[in-house]
Structure formats: structure tokens, C-alpha cells
């Protein structure tokens, strides 16, 4: 099983008090795969149900953001490979 990778970058290195801070996290894992399971039930007479689709992720990733100054980072967006968080300076 492969290990995940992550990078973190801020939109600035210095902030005035009260300013919005944006953190961009880029992450991935070679094992992570999104898949869709489609189920069709067919009886002995050959009648089939409508297909039902279920999504699943193999080896899903969780992101944790901590700040040693106690700031709270709130997720703004997450594409599955890039997540953006926001805090107040």
C-alpha cells in the first residue's frame, strides 16, 4: 500500500491582523481510486431492475489542518486533489 503525498502553501508569508489567509493543500495517494458500483437485479424470467449506482472510494484520504497559534482553518473547497482552507490573521 502506497503512502499519500501532500504540499501546503499560503497565499502570503506575512499578514496584517484581520486579513484573510488562504491555505492551498495539494494531495494525492496512488492507491486512492474512485469507483462506481452498478447493480442490476435480474430474476429467473430475465426481467431486470433499473440499474442502481453506488459510489465508493478505495483508500480514501482525510485531511487535518492544525495551527500552533490556535487559528481555526475552515475548508472553502475540495476537488479531491486540491483543497483550500481559510483563516483570519
**Sign of the CA dihedral with 43 first, then 46, 52, and 56 last:** positive
**Which set of grid coordinates corresponds to residue 62?**
482525510
Residue 6 falls in which region: left (phi positive, over 0), alpha (psi -120 to 50) or beta: beta
Beta bridge partners of 36: 55
Residue of 36, 51, 53, 68 that binds other proteins (CB under 8 A): 68
Q: Are 30 and 87 in contact (CB under 8 A)?
A: no
Q: Does residue 33 bind other proteins (CB under 8 A)?
A: no
Residue of 36, 47, 55, 62 that binds other proteins (CB under 8 A): 62
Residue of 42, 45, 47, 64 that binds other proteins (CB under 8 A): 64
Residue number, 14 or 79, with CB nearest to other proteins: 14
- Tell me how many residues contact other proteins (CB under 8 A): 40
Which residue ranges make up the site for other proteins (CB under 8 A)?
A: 1-10, 12-19, 21, 23, 25, 27, 29, 31-32, 59-69, 71, 73, 87, 89
Amino acid at each position: 500500500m502506497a503512502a499519500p503525498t501532500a504540499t501546503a502553501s499560503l497565499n502570503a508569508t506575512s499578514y496584517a491582523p484581520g486579513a484573510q489567509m488562504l491555505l492551498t493543500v495539494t494531495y494525492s495517494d496512488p492507491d486512492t481510486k474512485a469507483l462506481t458500483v452498478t447493480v442490476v437485479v435480474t430474476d429467473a424470467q430475465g426481467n431486470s431492475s433499473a440499474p442502481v449506482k453506488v459510489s465508493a472510494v478505495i483508500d480514501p484520504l482525510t485531511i487535518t489542518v492544525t495551527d500552533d497559534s490556535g487559528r481555526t482553518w475552515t475548508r472553502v473547497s475540495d476537488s479531491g486533489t486540491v483543497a483550500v482552507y481559510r483563516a483570519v490573521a
